[in-house]
Amino acid sequence: MESLKEAFDDQGEQDYNEALRKKLAGFAIRGAKHGNLGKMCGTCAFKLDSDANLEPHNVQAAWDALAYEGQFNCHIETGVNKGCVCIGFKYAQAFFNNL
C-alpha cells in the first residue's frame, strides 16, 4: 500500500502534466491567430488530446524546447523525426514572439 505522501505526489504529478499539456496546446492556438504557418499533424504534441499531447515525455520535451529556445521537430504519426520543425511549435513560438 502506498503512503499518503506517495498518493499526493502521484496526484501532483498528474495535475502538473495535465496543466502543462493544456498550456502547450493553448500557446499553439493563440499563436495561430498571428498568421497561417501550416497545418499541425493529427498527432502533434501541441494539439490538445492528440496521442503525443497525452504522453508526458513528449509534452515535457516540447515545453523544454520552447523554454530554452531550442528546436522541436515534427514526429508525424510514426514517431520518426521528419527532420523539419513542428508546425505546432512554430505556432507556440509565434505566440511568444507577439507578446
Q: Following DSSP, what letter does each residue of 25-71 receive, concatenated? A: HHHHHHHHTT-------TT-TTSTTSTTTT-HHHHHHHHHHHHTT--
Average confidence (pLDDT) per 10 residues, the chain, 99 residues: 55 84 95 93 91 89 91 77 88 92
Containing domain of residue 84, as a range?
A: 4-97
**Count of domains in the chain?**
1
Whole-angstrom distance, CA of residue 52 vs CA of residue 57 = 9
Q: Which amino acid is at 41?
A: C
Whole-angstrom distance, CA of residue 28 vs CA of residue 85 = 14
